[in-house]
Structure 1
Amino acid sequence: MLKALPENIEVNDLIQRLDRGPAEHKGNAGKALLVGGDTGMAGALLLAGQSCLYLGAGWTMLQMLDHHSAHANSNHPELMISQASIKSATKLQDLKADVLGIGPGLGQSELAQTYLTSILTLPNAPVVIDADAINLIASSENNLLLLKIRNQRFPHRTILTPHPGEAAKLLKTDVATIQKNRLQAINRLVELTQSIVVLKGQHTLIASPDHSPFVCQAGNPGMATGGMGDILTGCIVAIAAQGIHHHLDLWESSCIAVHLHALAADQLVKKGVGPIGLTPSETMIEMRSIINQQLKQLNASH
């Protein structure tokens, strides 16, 4: 029998570690780098970046592949946006990011491949791999080998967040087969990639080489809209960045993020926002509200 995603009391225990002391500074909240946003898909990277901001990363840096969109965002000037380039891709280590995310709106260009190679060969830092970054791994045995080598050298430092279509590409099958037996699919994905895996969809699953699958019971059909996966990526990166100082590993950060993502969507539906027309932008703000409310309640109880 599948276990539910750690009971609320356990997730709250994890969330409590994110509580900030009065003397903390932005360095304690971590430096996050997100890569993606190819031509026509800049919005995906901006959503991931905004989610990263709202969920508390100390710095959020974006490397945008679409040069027309690689400029300051007046709605979110806090985002440090720069134009992606081959030179930047090969010097990622110089940025000293605590956590990296790649995939939202990435595309599958030569530049996208260069970034993926650079990130997979970076030492130690936690990495969140989503969307077209997963597709690049699925389409290349060399990329898959780089991922496995990374996980052998730096275990517990990589997470993949495929939706059923991306999972099907990784496993060389079809979506219907994935959806028919999602538990078998996530176990195969973990075995194939040796990564933490979040298999998105109704009753999202999360598993790793060291953790049997959990199922997230929260969530609703309003989440079936473009951008929801991007804000989950940003949330995982943000919490993992804070986790460097607050003693949360990538598995724990992923559990918190999956929990918040689905719970926020459910809370909005209860308020009459959705499911029809529920947006990622509304959901990330609700995620921020929930995490702060839970920290306030936990502090009040102690």
Structure 2
Amino acid sequence: MTSTPMNLNCFDLATRLKRGPAEHKGDAGKAILIGGAPGMAGALVLAGNACLHLGAGWTILEMFDPSSAHADANQPELMIRLASTQAHDALIKQDPDVIAIGPGLGSSPIAIEWIKAVLSFPKVPLIIDADALNCIADSEDLLNLLQHRNQQFPEMTVITPHPGEAARLLHSSSAKIQEDRQEAIHALVNQTQSIVVLKGQHTLIASPQHAVTQCMEGNPGMGTGGMGDILTGAITAIAAQGVCHQLNLWEATGIAVQLHATAADSLVEKGVGPIGLTPSETIMEMRSLLNKLL
């Protein structure tokens, strides 16, 4: 019989993010987010906006879509670049504190090269979402690279599948994932050796070193395109700040998951949604709630 998971309760940890009077952008971390293939640039911009508004010192977008790889007049703080074809060299040159890959990534040859590069990049926290998970599911070589990274650097990689992506990784179906979500997250942890966030009602988090924890917040208004992208951005931002603020990737992930769901609930309580609740609105509510916790 499956035991009931513990409820997620990470907001006390968020107080570590409080900034000292002399802190600068270097103390808040350099985050690189990778994706945004043609027709999907919005996914990467949403993730970048979440990362920016939740406090990363630098938010750099490696954008695959040439027509979108330019300064955004609505959000000029984002550093948007056309993704290099030399992914490994680009990562070494930029020396990030945290990396996220997946929103709007696609499955092109350049996408595969960037996945290989980030899986081979040592030590820094890595967040893997969306199309990056689908590419790993379809490639034994990429899965082996992910497993090897986690053997070298335990608890430094988090994957954030929704039920469909989880099913693809486990060669199952979304219906079977939803039938026994605890069994599914255990299988994902065993398969990837990663911190795993299995999104959905009562999002679950687990890792090789941590038992399953569930987030009790959240509502059906979160079932809209882009909500997963902003969770990726939120984890990235908090992990970036965690480098100097003594938060590890497990802790940063828990804070971000709970903040994401609580912000959506807060908006519904204010009459914004659940129908028509947008990721962009949720980003701003997340920022407000995070600052209230400090």
Indicate the TM-score class for this superposition, using the shorter chain for normalisation: over 0.9
1:48 shift after superposition: 0.2
Q: Give the partner amino acid of 2:221.
A: G
Aligned residues of 1:90 and 1:115 also touching (Cα < 8 A)? no
Matches within 5 A, 1:89-100: 89-100=88-99
1:6 shift after superposition: 3.2
Q: Give the partner amino acid of 1:238.
A: A
**TM-score of the aligned structures, taking structure 2 as reference length:** 0.98
Cα distance in 2, alignment partners of residues 93 and 113 from structure 1: 18
Aligned residues of 2:189 and 2:207 also touching (Cα < 8 A)? yes
Cα distance in 2, alignment partners of residues 31 and 90 from structure 1: 17
Q: Which residue of 1 aligns with 2:167?
A: 168
Q: Which residue of 1 aligns with 2:8?
A: 6
Q: Which residue of 2 aligns with 1:32?
A: 31
Q: Give the partner amino acid of 1:281.
A: S
Q: Give the partner amino acid of 1:16.
A: T
1:91 shift after superposition: 2.6
Cα distance in 1, alignment partners of residues 70 and 293 from structure 2: 35
Q: Which residue of 1 aligns with 2:116?
A: 117
Q: Which residue of 1 aligns with 2:178?
A: 179
**Deviation by residue 1:171-219 (Cα, 9 ceiling, x = unmatched):** 0010100000000000000000000000001110000000011011110
Q: Which residue of 2 aligns with 1:132?
A: 131
1:88 shift after superposition: 4.2
Matched, 1:240 2:265: no
SS in 2 for 1:17: helix
Aligned residues of 1:4 and 1:214 also touching (Cα < 8 A)? yes
Cα distance in 2, alignment partners of residues 36 and 232 from structure 1: 15
Aligned residues of 1:4 and 1:217 also touching (Cα < 8 A)? no
Q: Which residue of 1 aligns with 2:82?
A: 83
Cα distance in 1, alignment partners of residues 11 and 187 from structure 2: 30
Cα distance in 1, alignment partners of residues 63 and 7 from structure 2: 34
Aligned residues of 2:238 and 2:252 also touching (Cα < 8 A)? yes
SS in 1 for 2:17: coil
Matched, 1:148 2:147: yes
Aligned residues of 2:84 and 2:90 also touching (Cα < 8 A)? no
**TM-score of the aligned structures, taking structure 1 as reference length:** 0.95
SS in 1 for 2:68: coil
Aligned residues of 1:103 and 1:132 also touching (Cα < 8 A)? yes
Cα distance in 2, alignment partners of residues 152 and 127 from structure 1: 14
1:289 shift after superposition: 0.3
1:89 shift after superposition: 4.7
Cα distance in 2, alignment partners of residues 129 and 48 from structure 1: 12
CA distance 1:227–1:195, shift in 2 (3 Å): same
Cα distance in 1, alignment partners of residues 172 and 182 from structure 2: 15
Q: Give the partner amino acid of 1:190.
A: V
Cα distance in 1, alignment partners of residues 83 and 16 from structure 2: 34
SS in 2 for 1:264: helix
Provide the aligned length of Structure 1 versus Structure 2: 292
Q: Which residue of 2 aligns with 1:299?
A: none
Matches within 5 A, 1:1-302: 1-7=3-9, 11-295=10-294
Q: Give the partner amino acid of 1:47.
A: L
Cα distance in 2, alignment partners of residues 15 and 278 from structure 1: 25
Cα distance in 1, alignment partners of residues 159 and 87 from structure 2: 23
Tell me the percent identity.
61
Cα distance in 2, alignment partners of residues 209 and 87 from structure 1: 33
SS in 2 for 1:277: coil
Aligned residues of 1:35 and 1:104 also touching (Cα < 8 A)? yes
Aligned residues of 1:30 and 1:59 also touching (Cα < 8 A)? yes
Q: Which structure 2 residue ranges, 5 or more long, are not aligned?
A: none
Q: Give the partner amino acid of 1:230.
A: D
Cα distance in 1, alignment partners of residues 87 and 118 from structure 2: 12
1:86 shift after superposition: 1.2
Cα distance in 1, alignment partners of residues 175 and 261 from structure 2: 23
1:293 shift after superposition: 1.0
1:94 shift after superposition: 1.4
Aligned residues of 1:2 and 1:215 also touching (Cα < 8 A)? no
Cα distance in 2, alignment partners of residues 32 and 135 from structure 1: 22
SS in 2 for 1:86: coil
Cα distance in 2, alignment partners of residues 49 and 12 from structure 1: 23
